[in-house]
Amino acid sequence: MGQTLTEKILDDHLVEGELETGEEIGIEIDQVLTQDTTGTLVWLQFEALGLDEVQTELAAQYCDHQTYQFDFKNTDDHRFLRSAAGTFGAYFSRPGNGICHNVHKENFAAPGKTLLGSDSHTPTPGGLGQLAIGSGGLDVAVAMGGGAYYIEMPEVVNVRLEGELPEWATAKDVILEMLRRLSVKGGVSKIFEYTGPGVESLSVPERTTITNMGTELGATSSIFPTDEKTEDYLARQGREDEYVELQPDEDAEYDDQLTIDLSDLEPLIAEPSMPDNVVPVSEVEGVDVDQVMIGSCTNGGYEDILPAAKMLEDRSIQPDTEMIVAPGSKKASEMLAREGWTAEMMAAGVNYSEATCGACIGIGHVPGSDSVSLRTFNRNFEGRSGIEDDNVYLCSPEVATAAAIKGEIVDPRNLAEELDDLEAPGFELPDQYEGAENDIITPDDPVDDDLVKGPNIGDVPLKDELDADLEGEALLKMEDNITTDHIIPATQDILMYRSNIPKLSEFTLSRVDDTFAQRALDSDGGFLVAGENYGQGSSREHAALCPMYLGIEGVLAQSFARIHKANLFNFGLLPLEIDEADYENIEQGDDIEVVDDVAEAVRSGQEEFTVRVNDDWELTATLDASEREREILADGGKLSHTKKQADSG
């Protein structure tokens, strides 16, 4: 039987297990990336593991999430990251240089290689045929030290693309259509492999918009085959020698298949406040728009901003609508400036920003109260923009720009009819991505020998081995789709404590219940209870580490998001699945006792656990974990587990 493209790359990197859906496999990692909000922990953990040099072909540290250095804590973090990259042998991308996925795509993404990154949108370079997966930082630290990355072999789903995009429909509409059909849970434990005649009509940056936002489907990764478009893109970046042809076998068998006819697509938009609330733009026309933002790792490339600039040429945005453009990389920014497009946009009234994640996580350009913001980003979870009652819509740069011109949501096709000189800008690549470079410091650049740790940078807390008895209060009961933004918000005022776990922990789940952290500390252990898809969103391991620090012992949820579940194992928290009826019956404040000898049961492979509630009734909960995950959990988390393994030789 032939192989899918995913299977071919995995096969090339397989160090343990077999490529059978649901089976745990260990794979060798060629490249790793990390960014500033997750990177400090990655390097602190790398140091705690006693490792002294990066073992992967390439490791890259980006500073992109918190580039506005509001106070010394951010600056100290960046200085620490520079010292860690230099000390251990990683590339270092300065603040202002751009978003990790954009800069990585432009400089390092390579077909056929594996990439592990401590950021949930790591799958972005799947658009160039790279198998890229997001994970917690501890997994990145271990992979960087030469350890395998373990994952359950996902289902491989074939997304067959047919036809070509009509005018005004874009790659963003392809992934919004996927979200409309499949929902934010539709990709869990899946890799989407795009094939079919429609692939060749899409350029690499269009493909990476699709693979980037596959994360919003909950997917493990998304990948395109390579072809002339890939070779051409690499050549324009001056990296043609890195091209490798990669196609699935003709008789490859997929676990599932769906078809999208690109020619049927129209401009789409995700309404507040979930990326899968997708409707045609024409259905929400007329809504007044206060703010428009173009940028992010989804649509922040030169090629994404150029259509907006063309639409704004010799025009002005509406006086009551603010428009911000934040390029994804310094290179994109510099190219647009050199070609005169930045001046054109500024003349139209655009507020031009540095290359940063920034507003995507509520750092800068926070929408006004009771206002509407249209963004080309990938997430619109409630409160992520920095204000609780936000109304953030997600759309393509073309739809966003049309709204800035009109002052309200408008289907750009209708705006084009109204203005009669507005033409569809199309999608263009520059002749060469040259003359502008991302300033990346190589591992060979000299650095002082010592790691530079400011006063806000502390050690990583460790957890003891799992106890035989697990008992405590259900400290918080939550609904479905709790995100890592709910658990540890990524806003500036909170995330600046990312290297200071005791302080950061004070904010744990504060967006759900601001008494939680103190109650957890006071109660000496306890549990979280949640509905479906607990922990969706970013790869932020603080979302497991901070509950661990507060003494949380386990989470009872109807289901878990993939990366977060891995993070729970990595920090020694017991993730138990419960059914809907039991979820309904548990109340916040109930006494929870896992009846079995937990440590023994976890190590021995026991799947069903009896949980007694209020000494009154019992439920059966399931632990779905591999042998390796059980060992990690029982040892008190991956750091303790890895150290223990190293100590025992």
Q: Say if residues 259 and 196 touch (Cβ distance below 8 Å).
A: yes
Pick 384 or 630: Cβ nearer ligand F3S: 384
Applying CB under 6 A, among 13, 65, 562, 564 the residue interacting with ligand F3S is 65
Residue that is written with structure tokens 């140091």 in the block:
47
The answer to whether residues 542 and 504 touch, using CB atoms and an 8 Å cutoff, is yes
Please state the closest distance from residue 579 (CB atom) to ligand F3S, in A: 33
- Here the contacts of 241-246 (C-beta below 8 Å, separation 24 or greater) are 242/110, 242/111, 243/111, 244/110, 244/111, 244/112, 244/129, 246/5, 246/8, 246/9, 246/111, 246/112, 246/129
Out of 7, 30, 36, 119, name the contact with ligand F3S by CB under 6 A. Answer: 119
Q: Considering beta carbons, is residue 329 or 371 the nearer one to ligand F3S? A: 329
Give the binding range for ligand F3S (CB under 6 A) out of 44-52, 356-364, 388-396, 638-646. Answer: 356-364
The 312-351 site mask, x for binding ligand F3S (CB under 6 A), equals ----------------------------------------
String of DSSP letters for 458-512: -PPP--PPPPS-EEEEEEEE--TT-BHHHHS--SHHHHTTTT-HHHHHTTTTTTT
End-to-end alpha-carbon separation of the chain, Å? Answer: 41
| Residue in this structure with the two tokens 């699709």, named with its chain if needed | 210
Find, among 324, 313, 321, the residue nearest to 351 by Cα: 324
Backbone angles phi, psi at 510, to 5 degrees: -65, -25
How many chain residues interact with ligand F3S (CB under 6 A)? 12
Rounded least distance, CB 88 to ligand F3S, Å: 22
Q: Using the rule CB under 6 A, is 121 a contact of ligand F3S?
A: yes
Nearer Cβ to ligand F3S, position 119 or 382? 119
**Three-class SS of 336-355:** HHHCCHHHHHHHHCCEECCC
Mask 567-586, x = binds ligand F3S (CB under 6 A)? Answer: --------------------
Compare residues 59 and 326 and give the one whose CB is closer to ligand F3S. Answer: 326
Of the residues 140, 357, 504, 544, which one makes contact with ligand F3S according to CB under 6 A = 357
- Among the listed ranges 96-104, 129-137, 255-263, 264-272, the one in contact with ligand F3S (CB under 6 A) is 96-104
Rounded to a whole number of angstroms, the minimum distance from the CB of residue 211 to ligand F3S is 13
The CB density around residue 264, as the number of other CB atoms within 10 Å, is 12
When binding is defined by CB under 6 A, the residue of 299, 321, 378, 536 that contacts ligand F3S is 378
Q: How far is the CB of 260 from ligand F3S (least distance, A)?
A: 23
CA 260/CA 225 separation, integer angstroms:
17
- Structure tokens of 189? 């434990």
Q: List the strands of the sheet with 391-394, edge to edge.
A: 278-280, 268-270, 391-394, 372-375, 291-295, 322-326, 351-352
Place of tokens 């620090």: 549
Per CB under 6 A, the segment of 93-101, 347-355, 462-470, 519-527 that binds ligand F3S is 93-101
Query: Which of 6/124 has CB closer to ligand F3S?
Result: 124
Q: Residue 156 contacts by C-beta under 8 Å, 6 or more apart in sequence? A: 4, 6, 7, 190, 191, 193, 254, 255
Coil, helix or strand for 233? helix
Query: Minimum Å distance from CB 178 to ligand F3S?
Result: 17
Cα 235 to the chain's mean position, in Å? Answer: 28
User: Which parts of 275-304 interact with ligand F3S (CB under 6 A)?
Assistant: 296-297
Nearest distance from C-beta of residue 492 to ligand F3S, angstroms? 12
Euclidean distance between CA atoms 383 and 504, whole angstroms = 18
Distant-in-sequence, close-in-space partners of 202: CB < 8 Å, separation ≥ 6: 161, 165, 171, 210, 224, 229
- State which residue, 100 or 332, has the beta carbon closest to ligand F3S: 100
Query: Which CB, 118 or 277, lies closer to ligand F3S?
Result: 118
- Confirm if 323 and 317 have CB atoms less than 8 A apart: yes
The distance of closest approach from Cβ of residue 1 to ligand F3S in the complex, given in angstroms and rounded to an integer, is: 37
Nearest to residue 599, comparing CAs of 467, 462, 464, 463? 467
User: 422: which 2 tokens?
Assistant: 């507005």
**Contacting residues for 420 by C-beta, under 8 A, at least 6 apart:** none
CB 191 within 8 A of CB 154: yes
Q: Smallest distance, Å, CB 240 to ligand F3S?
A: 27
Q: Least distance to ligand F3S from the beta carbon of 359, Å? A: 9
Of 97-105, 188-196, 466-474, 477-485: span binding ligand F3S (CB under 6 A) = 97-105
Which one of the spans 68-76, 95-103, 203-211, 367-375 is the region binding ligand F3S (CB under 6 A)? Answer: 95-103
Compare residues 119 and 408 and give the one whose CB is closer to ligand F3S.
Answer: 119
Instruction: Report the length, in residues, of the chain.
Output: 649
Smallest gap from Cβ 538 to ligand F3S, in A, equals: 8
CA distance 273 to 283: 17
Site for ligand F3S, residues 535 to 574, rule: CB under 6 A:
none
Query: With b meaning 16 or more CB within 10 Å and e meaning fewer, what string describes 217-240?
Result: bbbbbbbbbbbebbbebbebbebe
Q: Report in angstroms how near the CB of residue 361 gets to ligand F3S at its nearest.
A: 5
| Shortest Å, Cβ 64 to ligand F3S | 6
For strand 391-394 and strand 440-441, is the pairing parallel, antiparallel, or unpaired? Answer: unpaired
Min CB(29)–ligand F3S separation in Å: 19
From residue 601 to residue 640, what is the string marking binding to ligand F3S with x (rule CB under 6 A)?
----------------------------------------
Among candidate residues 198, 429, 212, 403, the one with its CA nearest the CA of residue 304: 429
Kindly state the smallest distance separating residue 119's Cβ from ligand F3S, in Å: 5
Q: Please, which residue, 32 or 586, has the CB nearer to ligand F3S?
A: 32
Stretch that binds ligand F3S, among 23-31, 232-240, 354-362, 479-487 (CB under 6 A): 354-362
The region of 7-15, 98-106, 560-568, 598-606 touching ligand F3S under the rule CB under 6 A is: 98-106
**Complex with ligand F3S: residue 31 or 642, whichever CB lies closer:** 31
Residue placing its CB nearer to ligand F3S in the complex, 142 or 357: 357
Min dist. Cβ of residue 460 to ligand F3S (A)? 23
Which residue, 297 or 556, is less far from ligand F3S as judged by CB?
A: 297
CA distance 43 to 61: 10
Least Å distance, CB 201 to ligand F3S, is 25
Residues of this chain that interact with ligand F3S (CB under 6 A) are: 65, 99-101, 119, 121, 296-297, 357, 360-361, 378
